[in-house]
């Protein structure tokens, strides 16, 4: 509970910051320690095995028990009979990144231009399991909006062209939501995309820090700010893109590399100072982003505290993995630095579906990062797929989005999930304030407009 202390002098008030329970639930991303010598096929197998058991029950509920549920290997024996098959979607796209193509082009003097998205009219959609693969066709198949790595069930029949004519789809669906044992209290601040290496601290960032620290606004505002129980920084705090330059000679290349390294060093120092200030005033959880100083493969390890000598002194600062799952005041909070949603947009085209819709669909797929390892590098897990959702979140966010958006998702079993697209602070100067009791989300802007 919040403790408020007011002196007899009405002009001077002291508000103690509220504290709530907190737990990090990302042990699944750390404990397995899989070898990088493993093949990625085992990750798909584990994903399909776990979600197939869920889908079998969903299929019976949706289409009844009279329809045959068969493995792909037995499809040819059905002779065009209506049936259900369960598998993993695979979208064949010639525009997708290819390591073989990259190796063949590594000696070119001019680097190929990065693709905005991978979509072509010639893209094809397949469903596969451990035994075989079949092409999906029909009016119910939207290849452009389909995502590789999603486990689903389809009902239909094999046609004369040896493709599967889809009548309808079934996905694992949203997990049941646990009952909250106590009334959640406090507010959560989420921000992302500080990009301090290329965007040094400015007035907007200073105002944000003062607001969180209770140094800005009237007494009433400061009273409300005391209810901020934690700040979540969701990735790309140091920079937002990879360093790419064409060397025009040995000395030129060294100079550009040195300049980039210097920018990174300055960005880390600025982030260290920012975390030190925030950590002395409230609790902070910081996720790494795609271009921060940590591992490249998903799930990304927490940024090493040795990189932040000032901030490491504070126990109030928690470095966590990307993706991250935790509980704050008995609310389950799940989030990423945004790469899974950004990659889905590349796979499906930027103009088809808004990011907030992809967030909702990933809840119904029960998977945080379906395009890994196809177009997102990840560790080749062989014992389980850690990206499968095993808890129904109360708050689910994606950082580093182009604009702020939110939606309250309501499931068929009464689930309520606050979905949030957190914008890049370097661009929008906006953080998101979430009320842990009501799940209301409010954008707080510190820009000039």
Mind listing the pLDDT tens digit for each residue in 232-241? 999 898 876 7
Residue of 37, 25, 26, 27 lying closest to 379 (CA atoms): 37
Tell me phi and psi for residue 307, to 5 degrees.
-75, -10
Segment holding 84, helix H or strand E: strand 83-92
Find the DSSP H helices in 17-77. 41-63
Mind listing the pLDDT tens digit for each residue in 341-379? 999 999 988 777 899 999 999 999 999 999 999 889 888
Left, alpha or beta for 138 (phi > 0: left; psi -120 to 50: alpha)? left
- Beta bridge partner(s), residue 158: 164
Q: Please tell me which of 64-68, 114-118, 246-250 the model is most confident about, judged by mean pLDDT.
A: 64-68
- 137-157 b/e with 16+ CB inside 10 Å = b? beeebebbebbbbbbbbbbbb
**Cβ-proximal residues to 148 (8 Å cutoff; 6+ apart), any chain:** 89, 90, 91, 347, 370, 371, 374, 375
- 403-423 b/e with 16+ CB inside 10 Å = b? ebbbbebebeeebebbbbbbb
Pairing of strands 164-170, 187-191: unpaired
pTM for the whole thing? 0.88
pLDDT at 239: 77
Residue of 80, 144, 133 lying closest to 349 (CA atoms): 144
**Cβ-proximal residues to 96 (8 Å cutoff; 6+ apart), any chain:** 118, 347, 374, 375
pLDDT at 98: 65
Residue 261: C-alpha distances to residues 146, 211, 235, 241, 253 (Å)? 39, 32, 19, 14, 12
Domains of the chain: 10-32+176-339+389-445 (3.60.21.50), 41-96+115-170 (2.40.50.430)
Mind listing the pLDDT tens digit for each residue in 188-224? 999 999 998 888 778 889 999 988 887 776 666 677 7
DSSP letter at 177 equals: P
Dmax (CA) for the chain in angstroms is 86
Segment holding 343, helix H or strand E: helix 339-348
Cα(231)–Cα(305) distance, rounded to whole angstroms?
A: 17
pLDDT at 396: 98
Residue 3: C-alpha distances to residues 16, 227, 338, 340, 426 (Å)? 6, 10, 36, 40, 34
pLDDT at 182: 81
DSSP letter at 129 equals: -
Would the pLDDT of 340 be above 60? yes
290-318 average pLDDT score? 88
Which residue did the predictor score with more confidence, 101 or 205?
205
Work out the burial of residue 336: count CB atoms within 10 Å of its CB; fewer than 13 is exposed, 13-18 middle, 19 or more buried: buried
Would the pLDDT of 3 be above 70? no
Tell me phi and psi for residue 81, to 5 degrees.
-75, 145
Helix (H, G, I), strand (E, B) or coil at 427: helix
pLDDT confidence of 9, banded at 50, 70, 90?
Answer: very low
pLDDT confidence of 112, banded at 50, 70, 90?
Answer: low
pLDDT confidence of 179, banded at 50, 70, 90?
Answer: confident
Which residue did the predictor score with more confidence, 437 or 266?
437
Q: Mean of the per-residue pLDDT values for the chain?
A: 85
**Cβ-proximal residues to 30 (8 Å cutoff; 6+ apart), any chain:** 301, 321
pLDDT at 7: 43
Mind listing the pLDDT tens digit for each residue in 44-72? 999 999 999 999 999 999 999 888 999 99
**CA angle at residue 88 from 82 to 92, to 5 degrees?**
100
pLDDT confidence of 134, banded at 50, 70, 90?
Answer: very high
Cα(338)–Cα(135) distance, rounded to whole angstroms?
A: 30
CA 117, distance to chain mean position in Å, is 18
């Amino acid at each position: 509970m919040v403790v408020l202390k007011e002196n007899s002098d009405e002009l001077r008030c002291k508000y103690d910051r509220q504290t709530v329970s907190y737990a990090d639930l990302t042990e699944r991303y750390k404990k397995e320690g899989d070898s990088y010598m493993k093949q990625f096929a085992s990750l798909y197998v584990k994903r399909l095995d776990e979600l197939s058991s869920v889908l079998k029950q969903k299929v019976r509920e949706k289409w009844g028990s009279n329809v045959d549920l068969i493995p792909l290997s037995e499809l040819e024996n059905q002779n065009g009979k209506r049936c259900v098959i369960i598998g993993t979607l695979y979208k064949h796209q010639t525009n997708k990144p290819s390591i073989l193509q990259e190796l063949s082009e590594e000696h070119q003097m001019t680097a190929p231009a990065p693709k905005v998205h991978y979509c072509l009219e010639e893209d094809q959609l397949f469903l596969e399991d451990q035994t075989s693969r079949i092409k999906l066709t029909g009016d119910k198949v939207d290849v452009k909006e389909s995502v590789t790595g999603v486990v689903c069930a389809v009902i239909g029949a094999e046609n004369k062209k040896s493709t599967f004519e889809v009548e309808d789809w079934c996905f694992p669906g949203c997990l049941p939501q646990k009952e909250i044992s106590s009334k959640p209290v406090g507010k959560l601040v989420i921000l992302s995309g500080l990009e301090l290496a290329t965007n040094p601290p400015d007035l907007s960032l200073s105002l944000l820090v003062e607001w969180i620290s209770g140094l800005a606004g009237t007494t009433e505002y400061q009273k409300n700010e005391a209810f901020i129980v934690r700040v979540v920084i969701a990735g790309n705090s140091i920079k937002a893109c990879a360093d790419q330059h064409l060397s025009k000679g040995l000395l030129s290349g060294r100079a550009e590399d040195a300049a980039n390294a210097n920018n990174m060093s300055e960005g880390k120092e600025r982030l260290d100072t920012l975390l030190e200030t925030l950590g002395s005033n409230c609790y902070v959880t910081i996720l790494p982003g795609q271009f921060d100083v940590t591992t490249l493969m998903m799930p990304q390890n927490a940024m090493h505290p040795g990189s932040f000598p000032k901030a490491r002194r504070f126990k109030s600062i928690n470095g966590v993995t990307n993706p991250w799952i935790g509980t704050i005041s008995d609310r389950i909070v799940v989030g990423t630095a945004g790469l899974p949603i950004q990659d889905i947009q590349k796979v499906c085209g930027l103009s088809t579906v808004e990011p907030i819709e992809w967030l909702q669909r990933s809840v119904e797929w029960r998977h945080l990062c379906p395009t890994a390892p196809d177009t997102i590098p990840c560790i080749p897990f062989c014992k389980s797929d850690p990206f499968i959702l095993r808890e129904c979140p109360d708050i689910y966010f994606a950082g580093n989005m182009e604009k702020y958006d939110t939606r309250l998702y309501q499931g068929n079993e009464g689930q309520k999930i606050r979905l949030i697209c957190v914008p890049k602070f370097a661009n929008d100067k906006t953080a998101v304030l979430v009320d842990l009791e009501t799940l209301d989300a409010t954008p707080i802007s510190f820009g000039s407009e």
